[in-house]
């Protein structure tokens, strides 16, 4: 910061003193004009019995950084219900991070010629991109012609990092080399941008549903009618009916995805573990699928998350508090990115079935009144 900016900024510090907490040593924080930390309440939910590809069946707790009452309790109730029925399982389906640079030409014909030329430069492009990081691996590059421009949708694997910055740096390097190699040739680039919105960076879009941006994961489990009645306060049949009513209302509303409130868990764990909170935008599309067995009265659930941009190294994951939260989830250290995504999805599913049960048995308002406002009960009309 320059002297003039310092002069403007300094008077604000006294106003912020009560809210930033103990700043401590902030010299290592990579945030401009950093003055300290805003404290967010941290609740612990679980335990949840979960198993995954590299995670043996075990009880896991999750940290939820949130200001919303009832969230931790509701998620814990969902965990208890699934635990009594054998817990949840998850599988990782994909892992990718994208960037979509744009090359603009004089006419659509020139853009078409360049798009057809792409297969010839892909191998060199991959080498140039991968030279920027030992963790980055090129996956694919697909040209999209829009007017006189070619948007290149490029995806990479980024190891244990979420990779937003990694793919930006890699794509810039490879595109700079490509533009230099094209100089004086038949493909005359008029304008270049590192991103043209095709990568859905921190924005909800069908692109993040069709093309994984982060970790693609599915989690599933089942609930017996007995557990639904004893823990959730409703029958499995009535919970199934509620899920279908949810879906129909969502369709009429043009809702993006089909879930109860999975974004609550995604945001809370993102903040607690040092993920990029803005990436909740592309992560919040999830698909809750209930399947009812009329013979056994068991209710099976799965939750599909096509794009969870998470990492266990880099960004905010290296700070002390966030490292502690990752350790709590057994997700600190190498090779844990998929596990973190699977656990986020699993706890999100636990919250969804508990929220759905509260709507089914008409205790949703009561629980929020009791936990958020300390009101024992809310008046109900005589029906």
14-31 per-position pLDDT tens digit: 655 655 555 667 778 888
336 and 356 co-located in one domain: yes
Q: Residues 339-350: pLDDT tens digits?
A: 999 999 999 999
Looking at per-residue confidence, does 73 or 19 come out higher?
73
With respect to residue 6, please indicate whether it lies within any of the assigned structural domains: no
Check residue 100 and give its pLDDT: 98
Instruction: List the catalytic residue out of 68, 113, 177, 293.
Output: 68
pLDDT category of residue 382 using cuts at 50, 70 and 90: very low
With respect to residue 333, please indicate whether it lies within any of the assigned structural domains: yes
Rounded CA separation 141/151 (Å) = 10
- Which structural domain range is residue 157 located in? 101-193
183 and 285 co-located in one domain: no
DSSP letter, residue 276: -
Check residue 4 and give its pLDDT: 54
137 and 283 co-located in one domain: no
248 and 357 co-located in one domain: yes
298 and 255 co-located in one domain: yes
Percent of all residues in the chain with a pLDDT value above 90, rounded to a whole number? 80
224 and 305 co-located in one domain: yes
150 and 238 co-located in one domain: no
With respect to residue 379, please indicate whether it lies within any of the assigned structural domains: no
Residue 381 clears pLDDT 50, i.e. is over it: no
Is 68 a residue of the active site?
yes
Check residue 34 and give its pLDDT: 83
233 and 318 co-located in one domain: yes
Q: What are phi and psi of 254, to 5 degrees?
A: 70, 35
What is the H or E stretch that residue 304 is in? Answer: strand 299-308
Q: Residues 90-144: pLDDT tens digits?
A: 999 999 999 999 999 999 999 999 999 999 999 999 999 999 999 999 999 999 9
| 3-class secondary-structure state, position 8 | helix
225 and 344 co-located in one domain: yes
Residue that terminates a domain, selected from 193, 224, 241: 193
With respect to residue 164, please indicate whether it lies within any of the assigned structural domains: yes
* 348 within 8 A of 78, measured Cβ to Cβ: no
With respect to residue 259, please indicate whether it lies within any of the assigned structural domains: yes
Residue that terminates a domain, selected from 163, 193, 223: 193
* 35 within 8 A of 9, measured Cβ to Cβ: no
Question: Phi-psi bin for 184: left (phi > 0), alpha (psi -120 to 50), beta?
Answer: left
337 and 219 co-located in one domain: yes
Instruction: List the catalytic residue out of 151, 258, 282, 368.
Output: 368
Instruction: List the catalytic residue out of 110, 160, 276, 282.
Output: 276
The first and second tokens of residue 350, run together, are 């636990």
Q: Residues 234-256: pLDDT tens digits?
A: 999 999 999 999 999 999 999 98
230 and 344 co-located in one domain: yes
Rounded CA separation 75/347 (Å) = 7
Rounded CA separation 247/242 (Å) = 9
Is 15 a residue of the active site?
no
Is 144 a residue of the active site?
no
Residue 273 clears pLDDT 70, i.e. is over it: yes
With respect to residue 266, please indicate whether it lies within any of the assigned structural domains: yes
Task: Provide the greatest CA pair distance for the chain.
Answer: 82
Residues whose CB is less than 8 angstroms from the CB of residue 204 and which lie 6 or more positions away in sequence, other chains included: 256, 281, 282, 284, 285
With respect to residue 255, please indicate whether it lies within any of the assigned structural domains: yes
**CATH for 287:** 3.90.770.10
Q: What is the mean pLDDT of residues 324-353?
A: 96
Rounded CA separation 110/115 (Å) = 9
Check residue 362 and give its pLDDT: 87
With respect to residue 30, please indicate whether it lies within any of the assigned structural domains: no
Q: Where are the beta strands (DSSP E) in the chain?
A: 42-52, 55-65, 88-99, 102-104, 137-146, 149-157, 191-193, 214-223, 287-292, 299-308
Q: Residues 206-244: pLDDT tens digits?
A: 999 999 999 999 999 999 999 999 999 999 999 999 999
Check residue 21 and give its pLDDT: 58
């Amino acid at each position: 910061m320059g002297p003039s900016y310092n002069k403007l900024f300094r008077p604000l510090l006294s106003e912020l003193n009560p809210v930033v907490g103990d700043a401590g040593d902030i010299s290592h924080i990579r945030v401009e004009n950093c003055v300290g930390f805003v404290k967010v309440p941290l609740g612990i939910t679980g335990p949840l019995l979960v198993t995954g590809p590299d995670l043996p069946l075990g009880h896991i707790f999750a940290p939820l950084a949130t200001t919303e009452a009832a969230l931790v309790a509701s998620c814990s109730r969902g965990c208890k219900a699934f635990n009594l029925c054998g817990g949840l399982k998850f599988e990782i389906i994909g892992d990718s991070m994208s960037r979509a640079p744009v090359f603009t030409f004089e006419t659509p014909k020139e853009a078409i010629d360049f798009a057809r030329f792409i297969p010839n430069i892909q191998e060199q492009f991959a080498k140039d991109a991968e030279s920027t990081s030992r963790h980055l691996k090129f996956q694919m590059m697909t040209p999209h012609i829009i007017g006189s421009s070619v948007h290149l949708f490029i995806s990479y694997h980024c190891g244990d990092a979420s990779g937003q910055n990694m793919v930006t740096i890699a794509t810039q390097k490879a595109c700079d080399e490509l533009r230099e190699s094209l100089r004086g040739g038949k493909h005359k680039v008029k304008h270049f941008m590192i991103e043209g919105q095709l990568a859905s960076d921190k924005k909800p879009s069908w692109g993040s549903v069709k093309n994984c941006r982060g970790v693609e994961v599915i989690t599933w489990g089942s609930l017996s009618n007995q557990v639904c009645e004893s823990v959730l306060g409703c029958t499995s049949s009535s919970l199934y009916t509620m899920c279908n009513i949810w879906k129909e209302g969502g369709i009429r509303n043009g809702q993006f995805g089909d879930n109860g409130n999975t974004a609550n868990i995604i945001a809370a764990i993102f903040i607690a573990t040092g993920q990029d909170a803005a990436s909740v935008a592309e992560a919040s599309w999830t698909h809750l699928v209930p399947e009812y067995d009329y013979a056994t009265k068991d209710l099976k659930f799965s939750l599909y998350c096509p794009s969870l941009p998470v990492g266990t190294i880099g960004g905010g994951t290296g700070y002390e508090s966030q490292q502690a939260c990752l350790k709590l989830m057994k997700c600190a250290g190498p090779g844990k990115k998929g596990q973190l995504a699977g656990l986020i999805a699993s706890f999100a599913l636990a919250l969804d079935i508990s929220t759905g049960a509260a709507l089914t048995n008409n205790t949703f308002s009561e629980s929020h009144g009791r936990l958020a406002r300390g009101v024992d009960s809310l008046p109900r009309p005589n029906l």
